[in-house]
Amino acid sequence: MKTLIKALNLIFLFILIAACQNESESVGEKQLTIIPLPVKMTLNQGQYELKGNSVIYYSGDELLALAEYLSDQINISSGMELRTQQGTGKGISLSVHDDLPATLGQEGYKLDISKRGIEIAAGNTQGLLYGMQTLLQMIPQEYEECAECGEDELEFQYVSVEDFPRFKWRGLLLDVSRHFFTIDEIKKMIDEMAAYKYNVLQLHLTDDQGWRLEIKSLPELTAKGAWRVPRTGLWWDREVPQEGEAATYGGFYTQDQMRELIEYAKFRNIDILPEIEAPGHSLAAIAAYPYLSSTGRKYNVNPGSKFYTIDDNSICAGKETSYEYMEKVLTEVAELFPFEYVHIGGDECYKGFWEKCPDCRKKMKENNLKDEKELQSYFIKRLEKILESKGKKLIGWDEILEGGLAPNAAVMSWRGMQGGITAAKAQHHVVMSPVEYAYLDFYQGDPAIEPPTYSMLRLNKVYEFEPVPEGVDADYILGGQGNLWAESVPVFRHAEYMLWPRAFALSEVLWSPKDSRDWNDFVQRTEYNLRRLDRADVNYSLSFYDAIITPSKNEKGELLISLDSELADNEIYYTFDNTCPDDHSSIYKKGEKLTIPKDADTFRVVTWRDGKPLGRIITVKLDDLLKRIPVL
């Protein structure tokens, strides 16, 4: 009998241990909703209690600023004020040393939370900051949501993390030419980029609609080129500037302001890549200095009205004064920005005015250039020599391949992946930024309820992005980048709306191992992190909750409607009778094609989950759905 009782007790003990382990893992999974997903993360049973009197210890003087940054961020998230102290002790420990696994590389880190405390270690301050960002995402939501409630401890799941990025280049582009954003707004974007382990911010500083950087040797670039007549409404449908109309919309960054921004970003492991567009997209510069164009005419900075092929917006590649101008600009840019690359644009250069330009014809004859594409290549190669003389590397959009690539140039491939493939096979470094995966100015939900733009890029599509094409040596793929062009982004709140959560998906693509991607798991972590954006007063889109409407026609030419969703766990309800759908309306069955009731003119659809509305009601006229069907 004693033996039987002992055996039953052991069985009960094993069941109890298993139950405790499962509970611990469940708790841990709820807490460890980290984006981007770490390379290796082992959850352990138990929690470490970080108390209000705990200390952040750091191993050397160079880590004081990071320790204070971490203290500030914990205070913002939880209300706890932790002291910082050089040395060692139980609490949070920050250390840099060189005996870590070589696989961690330059940006990797180790994070261990156990009964010993919270330990973050890296080979340098870069990795240490990334470890801190992971820790900050692990602060339990219930504490973050009650930062003012006076809680005096935080519970962190025991965990061991070893983490490092897949790609060296993890970038976002912000177009500040089409619409001007302030230094403080850019800093806010940098803060969010740092939280999700981005390390490059490309600032599109010049274009046809505005020149945004002070160039001291060319003061008219900002005195005139930074300002345009005020306009609202749809881009390209706006009225051209009128005679005598004041140019009052715009702005620019002084070099001192830019230095301060560069330092702010540098502390957060982010390099700022300046983009100075040439030879095309240069109307703002030409408005300031008319001699730069082939025509020499006086033009206005464009406010978003039609002008392409009408006004000469390409710097003349035939005049030596154009290269003297570019040397002045690039000299000051190279001195100002410490990043190794300078982006020179090179895309969408209209060459129609070059064809009629005697200076361009002469330059082509002198250099045995057979066409205007080779003339543009000549122009880019001249810029590369200027930059190399300043200790910089040239990077440009994939059009710089046309006519022959500059010897040491890197390529940012936007017109799909092919430009990057071509460049990589020619042993040039590449940043993949293809329009079909990385253009964050595109629709992310149904056009009927989204601000107007050009094309579609949903959250799940960004998550499918693979920067290394088959058959390409991965060593030449630096990484990838998402681009937020601002034609349809007039204010910073809308810039945030377009960035998040699609920038979550891109951060995971560029940081985490390829084989770790799990869409459903990513969605859960996204929902968790959106609450963090709420607390930071960052705007974002919930379009991934909405229904997806796909119209088609049958053999009779009659309209059919298919429905879908980016999420797997919701229901879709719809109406044709001009009422708003809810969970008592018709429910959509996956795969069916809805036929249109006689005389119906409007379709409405909404998603629900767990008995509650999830997405927005989409209302669209049936005639408008017909217009969405491609004409073959």
Q: Where are the domains of the chain?
A: 2-163, 176-537, 546-628
Residue 207 appears among annotated catalytic residues: yes
Contact predicate 404/372, CB 8 Å: no
Q: Please report the pLDDT score of residue 632 as a whole number.
A: 74
Report which DSSP code applies to 105: T
Is there a common fold for 2-163 and 176-537?
Answer: no
Contact predicate 48/113, CB 8 Å: yes
Q: Please report the pLDDT score of residue 143 as a whole number.
A: 54
Catalytic residue among 119, 144, 275, 281: 281
Q: How confident is the model at residue 379 (pLDDT cuts 50, 70, 90)?
A: very high
Q: Please report the pLDDT score of residue 32 as a whole number.
A: 78
Q: What is the mean pLDDT of the chain?
A: 93
Q: How confident is the model at residue 631 (pLDDT cuts 50, 70, 90)?
A: confident
Residue 371 appears among annotated catalytic residues: no
Q: Please report the pLDDT score of residue 14 as a whole number.
A: 37
Q: Please report the pLDDT score of residue 446 as a whole number.
A: 98
CATH of 2-163, one of 3.30.379.10, 3.30.565.10, 3.90.245.10, 3.30.460.80: 3.30.379.10
CATH number of 176-537: 3.20.20.80
> Of 270, 22, 313, 86, which is closest to residue 177 (Cα–Cα)?
313
Contact predicate 438/481, CB 8 Å: yes
Catalytic residue among 192, 207, 399, 546: 207
Catalytic residue among 245, 348, 374, 436: 348
- 579 CA to centre of own chain: 38
Q: How confident is the model at residue 151 (pLDDT cuts 50, 70, 90)?
A: low
Instruction: For 320-368, write each residue's pLDDT tens digit.
Output: 999 999 999 999 999 999 999 999 999 999 999 999 999 999 999 999 9
Residue 494 appears among annotated catalytic residues: no
The correct answer on CATH 1.10.3470 for the domain covering 546-628 is no
By DSSP bridging, strand 271-278 and strand 109-114 are: unpaired
* Cis geometry, peptide bond prior to residue 338 (ω within 30 degrees of 0): no
